[in-house]
């Protein structure tokens, strides 16, 4: 592979993605080279305010592929072999710092700032550094296809979010934002035995998908909700006269966070799964939250434990609607189109994956 050329999708300032030719990365002892078969476009990939400051850059962190080369140390350890189908995590924790030892693996500085693979998931080949090989490579079970495997990383994030929110069987759950993350939260809540499930969005296509999943009540907040005070009324109407036990915010608009504060029941939890721009702040009615013991819980990323759980849930087919969430499969040449699909509403897309080797299947 050394010296041969590969093609990559490069995110440029302003959100445009171009395809360039580069040299396949050479691996060192302890590293592996992965041929990328499928790479999902994440909602965070299309956040211009976040990505523009790092552009130009090869993004992509939801990948599956085949091991095509292993470094000498990997051979000696006999840990991974050429030909294995794998999911590779881009960020991994150190497992030894204060945060890791206290269970906050996604707060680890190594995970947040010091680990990644080269060059990124929107490429035909990528080099996996030793620390990622050690704790970020997972062999795909036979039951998990390359395409389905692109949902391992986002599902792991959802697993962690619901774990820190302490979801309980029978609880009513309201998800604000029915994109990929919101639908994964609804699917996992179903598997965990949640009670009434409710979802909001501004896209009827996504809301109809939620209905097909078995979500009890959905509403288009752009068309049917005129003020923040109306959504709590709707929640009580469809939830037996009560607000929701768990409200999960999967939309980055400040209005969604404000609505969440008004829709949570006494003793309930607001899970801030999405984020806002860095300069935005949320005013919280502290006295009301204090008096009613309402919890505000953020969740970022997923750790190794969450990845293992996500893979096992897929292997055991506990979330039956996952495959249907993948609505578009595009070759690398059409990556710019894929980014547009993920950033626009009303486009009848949920999950868009890129197939860097160029063998795109029909949508």
| 192: preceding bond cis by omega (within 30 degrees) | no
| Overall average pLDDT of the 276-280 stretch | 92
Q: Which of 343, 335, 312 is nearest to 19 (CA)?
A: 335
pLDDT for position 47: 85
Considering the four listed CATH numbers 3.40.50.720, 2.40.10.480, 3.30.450.20, 3.40.50.800, the one that applies to the domain covering 166-298 is: 3.40.50.720
Burial 96-107 (b: 16+ CB within 10 A, else e): ebebbeeebbbb
Q: Which residues contact 26 (CB under 8 A, 6 or more apart)?
A: 1, 2, 127
Please, what sign has the CA dihedral across residues 182, 304, 106, 8? negative
Indicate left, alpha or beta for 345 from its phi (over 0: left) and psi (-120 to 50: alpha).
Answer: beta
pLDDT for position 19: 97
Q: Answer whether 55's CB lies under 8 Å from 12's CB.
A: yes
Residue 78 confidence (pLDDT) above 90: no
pLDDT for position 2: 67
Confidence of residue 361 (pLDDT cuts 50, 70, 90): very low
| Overall average pLDDT of the 137-154 stretch | 98
**Strand pairing of 244-249 and 173-176?**
parallel
Average pLDDT, the chain: 95
Q: Answer whether 352's CB lies under 8 Å from 327's CB.
A: yes
Q: Give dist(CA 174, CA 185) in Å, integer.
A: 10
User: What is the location of CATH 3.40.50.720 in the chain?
Assistant: 166-298
Q: Give dist(CA 96, CA 332) in Å, integer.
A: 38
User: What is this structure's pTM?
Assistant: 0.96
Residue 110 DSSP label: I
Q: What's the Cα-to-Cα distance from 294 to each of 18, 93, 102, 125, 289, rounded to whole Å?
A: 46, 30, 24, 47, 5
Q: How many CA atoms lie within 13 A of 48 on its CB side?
A: 11
Considering the four listed CATH numbers 3.20.20.70, 3.90.180.10, 3.30.2350.10, 3.30.160.620, the one that applies to the domain covering 5-155+302-355 is: 3.90.180.10
Q: Give dist(CA 124, CA 355) in Å, integer.
A: 9
pLDDT in tens, 7-51: 999 999 988 999 999 999 999 999 999 999 999 999 999 888 888
């Amino acid at each position: 592979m050394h010296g041969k050329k590969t093609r990559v999708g490069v995110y440029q300032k302003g959100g445009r993605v171009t395809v360039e030719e580069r040299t396949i990365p050479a691996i060192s002892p302890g590293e592996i080279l992965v041929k990328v078969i499928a790479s999902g476009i994440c909602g965070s990939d299309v956040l211009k305010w976040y990505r523009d400051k790092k552009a130009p850059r090869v993004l992509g962190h939801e990948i599956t592929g085949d091991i095509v080369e292993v470094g000498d140390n990997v051979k000696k350890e006999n840990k991974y072999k050429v030909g294995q189908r794998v999911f590779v995590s881009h960020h991994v924790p150190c497992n030894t710092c204060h945060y890791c030892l206290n269970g906050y693996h996604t707060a680890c500085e190594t995970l947040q700032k010091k680990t990644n693979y080269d060059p990124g998931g929107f490429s035909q080949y990528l080099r996996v550094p030793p620390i990622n090989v050690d704790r970020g490579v997972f062999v795909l079970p036979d039951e998990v296809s390359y395409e389905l495997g692109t949902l391992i990383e986002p599902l792991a994030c959802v697993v962690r979010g619901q774990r820190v929110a302490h979801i309980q069987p029978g609880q009513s759950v309201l998800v604000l934002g029915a994109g990929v993350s919101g639908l994964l939260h609804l699917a996992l809540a179903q598997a965990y035995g949640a009670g009434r499930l409710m979802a909001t969005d501004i896209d009827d296509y996504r809301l109809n998908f939620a209905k097909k999943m078995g979500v009890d009540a959905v509403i288009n907040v752009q068309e049917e909700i005129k003020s923040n005070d109306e959504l709590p009324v709707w929640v009580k109407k469809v939830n037996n006269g009560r607000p929701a036990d768990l409200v999960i915010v999967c939309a980055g608009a400040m209005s969604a966070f404000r609505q969440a504060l008004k829709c949570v029941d006494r003793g309930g939890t607001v899970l801030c799964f999405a984020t806002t721009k860095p300069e935005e702040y949320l005013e919280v009615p502290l006295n009301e939250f204090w008096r009613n013991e309402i919890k505000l819980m953020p969740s970022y990323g997923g750790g190794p434990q969450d990845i293992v759980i996500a893979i096992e849930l897929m292997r055991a087919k506990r979330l039956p609607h996952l495959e249907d969430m993948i609505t578009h499969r595009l070759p690398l040449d059409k990556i710019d189109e894929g980014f547009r699909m993920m950033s626009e509403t009303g486009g009848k897309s949920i999950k868009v994956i890129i197939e860097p080797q160029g063998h795109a299947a029909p949508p």
